[in-house]
Structure 1
Amino acid sequence: MSNGFGQVDGRVDLELIAGMISPGCRVLDVGCGDGDLLALLRKQKGIDGRGVELSQEGVNASVARGLAVVQGDADTDLTAYPDDAFDYVILSQTIQATRNPKAVLREMKRIGRHVIVSFPNFGNWRVRLKLLFSGRMPETRSLGYSWYDTPNIHLCTVLDFASLCEELGLEIEDALIVTGDRSRRISNPGPLSNLLASDAVFLLKRQD
């Protein structure tokens, strides 16, 4: 299944995100799809969870699971939430499909004490080789679309994202990169992690 942003089930980043969440906290999942992450967090961490989803199908599926999810657009509807409304605001495998990622992150920073973002890494070595040797836009497990039908309109690399966080005054509390079905923690995103990561998960907070 997928949501309106192309989010797919069975992703390794969901468990990694769950590991970053404190029990019993308030969570907003932006682009929550069918509610897989919210359901996981409710089961494992007993959270007070809310969701925003673009597609009506995703909203219906989430509500059918007993989740508090409303239809909305990350690019336009986050402004309706008050400051510090949540402990964590999550954007999983969705930021690359937003029209204005910088503005979305700024709103997430405003309404959440912590921000968690996962995304496919366009700087991965497989992507680079595909471009180098075939001269065509790559398709990988994380980037599983042809160039003409992809919902991903703002692809970025691990280094791009880290730079944007610094620009927005978001401190990296934790960062994990995914290679295949394995993940490892990185202390400081650099060229090597940018080369190896197929996906990345960042836990962020406002800089003091």
Structure 2
Amino acid sequence: MPGGDTEVPDGDTLGTSDSVKAYLGDAYDGVAHYAEMLRDQGELRGLIGPREVPRIWERHILNSAAVVPFLPTSGSVADIGSGAGLPGVVLAVMRPQLEVILVEPMERRTTWLSEVVAELGLTNVQVKRGRAEEYHGAFEVDAVTSRAVAALSKLVRLSMPLVRVGGEMVILKGRSVAEEVDPARKVLRKYAAGDPDILEGSTVEGVESTTIVRVRRGK
């Protein structure tokens, strides 16, 4: 549904709108600070492309925030391939009682993530440099999330070994994700996981919803 926010080309206007402030509540100041850091340094440090700078709130911040209601309010979550910190940093700000582990293989990105964590004073975040598979057997969490990392079959192989039995993989995917389910069935069975739930994550009026995929690990 079109809204007034989407008619404004300047992404900063969306970020300061009453609807976004109301949606984020107490987390607004921290998320806005992170968005400002990403806007100021993201392109320079190779975290986002130049066309993304004016769309940080709509395409990145709110897109990431859409997954938060589907994740635990406490316990632990790992964000694999965290990159610029999406959705992991947004999640950590919005869910301060949650332990968040940001897993990222590239050194320049983990340097950035560590700077963001320090700047925002996020005491509930750990930054781990490496690929997700390097941490198989090293720790387990209540949920694993990711955004724009890989096809579903590969994500299951990367993510499920990090998820405790009974925990969930909750990821942001494109709208065509249903086409990825059949190729992923074999690896899903390996973790006693059923068919994934394909859900719609919405934030504020006028901002496109996000496709969320959620699947529980069995015994």
Indicate yes or no: 2:145 matched with 1:90: yes
Aligned counterpart for 1:79 among listed residues 132, 136, 149: 136
Q: Distance in 2 between matches of 1:171 and 1:120?
A: 20
Q: What does the per-residue CA deviation read over 1:36-63, in whole Å, with 9 as the maximum and x for residues that have no partner?
A: 4222222222210111112222111111
Contact kept? 1:13, 1:201, Cα under 8 Å = no
Q: Distance in 2 between matches of 1:17 and 1:27?
A: 12
Q: What's the counterpart of residue 176 of structure 1?
A: 199
Indicate yes or no: 2:126 matched with 1:68: yes
Percent identical residues? 15
Q: What's the counterpart of residue 35 of structure 1?
A: 85
Contact kept? 2:146, 2:170, Cα under 8 Å = yes
Q: What's the counterpart of residue 154 of structure 1?
A: none
Root-mean-square deviation (CA), in Å?
Answer: 3.2
Distance 1:56 1:33, change over 3 A: same
Q: How does 1:45-56 map to 2 (within 5 A)?
A: 45-46=95-96, 47-56=98-107
Q: Distance in 2 between matches of 1:163 and 1:28?
A: 25
Contact kept? 2:137, 2:161, Cα under 8 Å = no
> What are structure 1's unaligned runs of at least 5 residues?
122-156, 184-198
> What are structure 2's unaligned runs of at least 5 residues?
1-41, 118-124
Q: Distance in 1 between matches of 2:183 and 2:48?
A: 23
Q: How does 1:158-169 map to 2 (within 5 A)?
A: 158-167=177-186, 168-169=188-189
Residue range with higher mean Cα deviation, 101-110 or 40-49: 101-110
Q: How does 1:178-197 map to 2 (within 5 A)?
A: 181-183=207-209
Q: Distance in 2 between matches of 1:18 and 1:178?
A: 9
Contact kept? 1:95, 1:117, Cα under 8 Å = no
Q: What's the counterpart of residue 202 of structure 1?
A: 213
Indicate yes or no: 2:112 matched with 1:58: no
The two structures have a TM-score, normalised by structure 2, of: 0.56
Shift of residue 68, structure 1, vs aligned partner = 1.5
3-state SS of paired residue (2:67): helix
3-state SS of paired residue (1:87): strand
| Structure 1 stretches of at least 4 aligned residues deviating more than 6 Å after TM superposition | 2-8
Distance 1:204 1:60, change over 3 A: same
Q: Which amino acid aligns with 1:81?
A: A
**How many aligned residue pairs are there?**
151
Q: Distance in 1 between matches of 2:127 and 2:135?
A: 14
Contact kept? 1:26, 1:87, Cα under 8 Å = yes
Q: Distance in 1 between matches of 2:154 and 2:85?
A: 24
Q: What's the counterpart of residue 19 of structure 1?
A: 69
The two structures have a TM-score, normalised by structure 1, of: 0.59
Q: Distance in 2 between matches of 1:50 and 1:201?
A: 20
Shift of residue 175, structure 1, vs aligned partner = 2.1
Shift of residue 107, structure 1, vs aligned partner = 4.1
